[in-house]
Amino acid sequence: MELVTKKIQFSTKGNCEIINLTDMVKIHLSDYNSKTGMVHLFIAGATGGLTTMEYEPGLVDDLQQCFQRIAPVKGQYSHNLAHDDMNAHSHVRASLIGPSLSIPFENAILQLGKWQQIVFIDFDNRPRKREVILQIIG
């Protein structure tokens, strides 16, 4: 067994933009020798999250609306009373969804469901440069 670390870098618009990372993960996996193992993803940052979903425009909108119900942009937040960045909702959403995700692979193929894609959600309220750390164990 070995562990290899890679990085996926990309730009985001923020404001709950949901970005499909599946193809970028597949490219890194195709460079890797082992056929069986696990891909672990981690976002270094307190206003982004990782999960999986069927990546189609309706569900992108539905998931964004759900975050708006759980932690609305214009809610009452203690953080915003003391900080000018006004992104308390971004932080709360990111803590709920979590920064890490692990996906198995077999025969060098990610074992996702037919409609299941790996997504990064940028909860921050401004464009960002993002880096997802990818570790392959196999």
Residues in touch with a copy of itself (CB under 8 A)? 1-3, 5, 36-38, 40, 42-46, 51-54, 56-59, 61-63, 65-66, 69-71, 76-83, 88, 91-92, 94-104, 106, 111-117, 119, 133, 135, 137-138
The residue whose two tokens read 């750390």 is 133
Least gap, CB of 29 to a copy of itself (angstroms): 15
C-beta separation of 77 from 128 below 8 A:
no
CA dihedral 17, 25, 28, 102 (to 10 degrees): 120
Least gap, CB of 121 to a copy of itself (angstroms): 9
| Nearer to a copy of itself among residue 13 and residue 106 (C-beta) | 106
CA–CA separation, 60 and 37 (whole Å): 29
Handedness of CA 82, 42, 111, 22 (dihedral sign): positive
Least gap, CB of 108 to a copy of itself (angstroms): 13
